[in-house]
Structure 1
């Protein structure tokens, strides 16, 4: 496996595959419109990347960064090739690009009553295996609550808040609360 990353823009031949994967991989309430994602990706602090193994589309990431942290808004692996190490390879690339900065992301909390309970457990296990730690914080966005994971065990909450403000798209900034 030898991954390469290409910028997601109008010239990307797999733009429709990226859009389709976004729609399949994330609940509707977590999806920003593609035109807005592409527009914001013109900013120097946003990176919208499609990953390839040779010519094969493997997945994509959408990250927002500042001088202290990289926030992963989206990471999705092509559903036709999941469980083949591509997610780990993409995270390895992301952490290398972070150059020592913390990498943070949000996931749905564990809930044995949720329709996707097993998926939530697998997702948390995947990120833990790939060097992410559970933090003592949750992100509250509207009526949704998310666990915040980070590659820094001593979670720099102020850095996280600063970086998520960059992705607010001029809308509200979600709340960050310490778990009691």
Structure 2
């Protein structure tokens, strides 16, 4: 069973979260991690741990829960946008990603949950296309459907997926306008 804790600069797991963030997302898809920690935007930045398995990955070492991944999301009104979400590479395909999504849904039972994925058609090679297809299939298995929203942010073309109801392009843009309204120079999708 997963448990989660807030990510702060002082948290003992911050180095693990930072390392996973930097390895899971290309530079053009990241914002400086300090912005994920500041309070200009109210975010849920969680580190997830398996308390049944220990840091070594064994049940015998369960006294030290195993770091599994993190999520970073923003909520406003009835929309929760999962901005960043990653599972440790060696733990993928073991159900942790689905459990993390379930924890977010439980926290926001009346929200439409949205995530964005890189558009498959834009992939430059077969390996990248395979990664994008696996990512889309993962979200589909977890109840996400394609929405009518595509956008470009920092040079990457994204498609929005949603669970719990569709989010229109206007709702998505209004969501980001509201979130970023007090941050000078911030660009929204």
TM (norm. structure 1) is 0.87
Tell me, what secondary structure is at the counterpart of 2:102? helix
Tell me, what secondary structure is at the counterpart of 2:120? coil
Tell me, what secondary structure is at the counterpart of 1:62? strand
**Runs of 5+ unmatched residues, structure 1:** 176-180
Q: Structure 2: how far apart are the matches of 1:120 and 1:18?
A: 22
**Runs of 4+ off more than 6 Å:** none
Q: Structure 2: how far apart are the matches of 1:156 and 1:132?
A: 15
Q: 1:113 to 1:104 in 2, by over 3 A?
A: closer
Q: 1:100 to 1:156 in 2, by over 3 A?
A: farther
Q: 1:99 to 1:28 in 2, by over 3 A?
A: same
Could you tell me whether the CA contact under 8 Å between 1:71 and 1:104 is conserved in 2? yes
Residue in 1 that maps onto 2:62:
none
Q: Structure 2: how far apart are the matches of 1:109 and 1:79?
A: 22
Say which structure is richer in helix. 2
Residue in 2 that maps onto 1:35:
34
Could you tell me whether the CA contact under 8 Å between 2:28 and 2:154 is conserved in 1? no
1:162: Cα distance to partner? 2.9
Residue in 1 that maps onto 2:55:
none
Pairing 1:151–2:163 present: yes
Q: Structure 1: how far apart are the matches of 2:67 and 2:29?
A: 23
1:171: Cα distance to partner? 3.4
Q: 1:113 to 1:4 in 2, by over 3 A?
A: closer
Residue in 2 that maps onto 1:110:
120
**Runs of 5+ unmatched residues, structure 2:** 52-64
Tell me, what secondary structure is at the counterpart of 1:52? strand
Could you tell me whether the CA contact under 8 Å between 2:112 and 2:163 is conserved in 1? yes
Tell me, what secondary structure is at the counterpart of 1:50? strand
Residue in 1 that maps onto 2:24:
25
Could you tell me whether the CA contact under 8 Å between 1:22 and 1:76 is conserved in 2? yes
Q: Structure 2: how far apart are the matches of 1:167 and 1:78?
A: 30
Could you tell me whether the CA contact under 8 Å between 1:108 and 1:120 is conserved in 2? yes
Q: Structure 1: how far apart are the matches of 2:186 and 2:23?
A: 25
Residue in 1 that maps onto 2:54:
none
- Figure out how many residues of one structure are paired with residues of the other and give that number: 172
Over the aligned positions, Cα root-mean-square deviation in angstroms equals 1.9
Pairing 1:160–2:159 present: no
